């Protein structure tokens, strides 16, 4: 992946995030990357919660994680990842 493609998002593929996790409701938007893997699944996702950037997340060999490998987020990234997979099913 080149740096030029690092932040290209597929705005036409954006979808709403409505998720309850640990007693709190999260509302926002998820934007998939234009870059796709061999199966056509977006390589990473920009997650915005309450109008603010939360994280760029991706799923790899270690499961769902912040693309920049920052923070733990107490399982919220895993919950958002599950939400994303369910969206694409």
Q: What does the pLDDT read at residue 69?
A: 65
The pTM (predicted TM-score) of the whole model is 0.83
Return the pLDDT at 3.
46
* Average pLDDT in the chain: 85
Distance CA 70, CA 48 (A): 16
29-56 pLDDT, tens digit each: 999 999 888 888 899 999 999 999 999 9
Res 81 pLDDT > 90: yes
Question: pLDDT category, 4, cuts 50, 70, 90?
Answer: very low
Domain coordinates in residue numbering, the chain = 9-88
Tokens 């390589």 -> residue = 43
Please give the pLDDT value at position 71.
55
């Amino acid at each position: 992946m080149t740096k030029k493609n690092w932040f290209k998002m597929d705005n036409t593929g954006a979808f709403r995030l409505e998720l309850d996790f640990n007693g709190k409701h999260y509302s926002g938007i998820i934007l998939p990357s234009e870059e796709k893997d061999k199966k056509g699944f977006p390589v990473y996702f920009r997650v915005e919660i309450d109008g603010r950037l939360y994280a760029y997340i991706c799923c790899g060999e270690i499961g769902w994680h912040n693309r920049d490998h920052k923070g733990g987020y107490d399982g919220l990234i895993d919950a958002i990842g599950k939400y994303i997979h369910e969206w694409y099913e």
